[in-house]
Amino acid sequence: MHHKNRYQAPHDFPALARVVPALSNHFITTPDGRTSLDFAHPETVRLLNQALLKRDYGLKHWDIPKGNLCPGVPGRLDYIHAVADLLEGNFTAHKTNSPRSQDADKAPSGGQSDSMAQGLIGLDIGTGASLIYPILGVKEYGWRFVATDIDATSLKVAGAIAKFNPELAGKIILRRQTDRQAIFKHVILPHEHLDFTMCNPPFFSAPDEVELAARKKWAKLGKENAPVLNFGGKPNELWTPGGEPDFLRRMIRESADFKDQVGWFTTLVSKKGYLKIAEIELGKLRSATHTVINIGQGGKRRRVLAWKF
């Protein structure tokens, strides 16, 4: 976990239940006698997020429909801090050992300071109903965001979250991407400048793959016939043609058309093998330098791939 992540310590669930009382309906007692939550229930993460976003970020309202992907706040926050490091030029410590461009070791032009990472503007690709990255970016660093999605319902929900929290509304612009295959096209305006882009890409290649993965997950939890996806998420938001590898390729290829408008391009990469695929694609772009920042902890290690021209 990033050293600036405020969730280093395990959650104090009884304290969080005082913020959102319904959480106590999902209390379980661990073998060593601690109070924890029943995470097999899809409602649990939603309520936990409500409590965290209310207590720690002062949100007056945050809710998403039952079917939508429900983000784990601490993990999402790690990506935000990684982007901040990148923008401040402090990311060398996180670099992987594989050979990368020398230029990526250096700070971006001039070497930005802490204060310079404020007031920046980023693009969140596929923000989802939860609007999670813009919320955390606005609250932790005072950034502004353009947030996109292909799913109209998700954007409607995201818009409601922003509306009920005026401090967000002034800093976040939502834009619908109408072309599922496009990433930056149509949503970055001519002459618009963005300091960074970020993305948690959809990872399945077909809707039925989503269902299969959900069923496997339930089987592992010993609940064969459970009707819901316990990680949440409507099939529509979790799949993309060609799965994550193709999404990454498309994003990298398209980024070249926006090289004069964007400082750093970044994306999460869920599997190590996909990083290779992405690096091959990056290799085809002349004059792009890139770096990889490892984030997460334990079984949830992920990487942020970042490149610039």
Q: Which is nearer to ligand SAH, 18 or 180 (CB)?
A: 180
In the set 17, 125, 172, 262, which binds ligand SAH (CB under 6 A)? 125
Binding mask 237-276 for ligand SAH (x = CB under 6 A): x--x------------------------------------
Q: Which is nearer to ligand SAH, 112 or 141 (CB)?
A: 141
Nearest C-alpha neighbor of 202 from the set 179, 159, 235, 153: 235
In the set 44, 165, 197, 200, which binds ligand SAH (CB under 6 A)? 200
Q: Which is nearer to ligand SAH, 240 or 255 (CB)?
A: 240
Q: Which is nearer to ligand SAH, 84 or 104 (CB)?
A: 84
Task: Report the chain's terminal Cα–Cα distance, integer Å.
Answer: 29
Q: Which stretch binds ligand SAH (CB under 6 A): 14-22, 111-119, 178-186, 281-289?
A: 178-186
| 131 vs 154: CA distance, rounded Å | 9
* Residue 149 touching ligand SAH (CB under 6 A): yes
* Least CB distance to ligand SAH at residue 126 (A): 2
In the set 183, 188, 252, 269, which binds ligand SAH (CB under 6 A)? 183
Q: Which stretch binds ligand SAH (CB under 6 A): 92-100, 147-155, 224-232, 257-265?
A: 147-155
* Least CB distance to ligand SAH at residue 288 (A): 21
Tell me how many residues contact ligand SAH (CB under 6 A). Answer: 23
Q: Which is nearer to ligand SAH, 28 or 121 (CB)?
A: 121
Q: 116-140 burial, b if ≥16 CB within 10 A, otherwise e?
A: ebeebbbbbbbbbbbbbbbbbbbbb
* Least CB distance to ligand SAH at residue 202 (A): 4
Cα angle 126, 234, 69 (rounded to 5 degrees) comes to: 60
In the set 50, 112, 127, 266, which binds ligand SAH (CB under 6 A)? 127
Structure token pair of residue 70? 């429900």
Q: Which residues lie closer than 8 Å to 216 by C-beta, 6 or more apart?
A: none
Binding mask 51-80 for ligand SAH (x = CB under 6 A): ------------------x-x----x----
In the set 53, 87, 120, 132, which binds ligand SAH (CB under 6 A)? 132
Nearest C-alpha neighbor of 5 from the set 58, 55, 80, 95: 80
CB 144 within 8 A of CB 172: yes
Structure token pair of residue 117? 């990472």
* Least CB distance to ligand SAH at residue 230 (A): 15
Q: Residues in the site for ligand SAH, rule: CB under 6 A?
A: 69, 71, 76, 125-128, 130, 132-133, 148-151, 154, 177, 180, 182-183, 200, 202, 237, 240
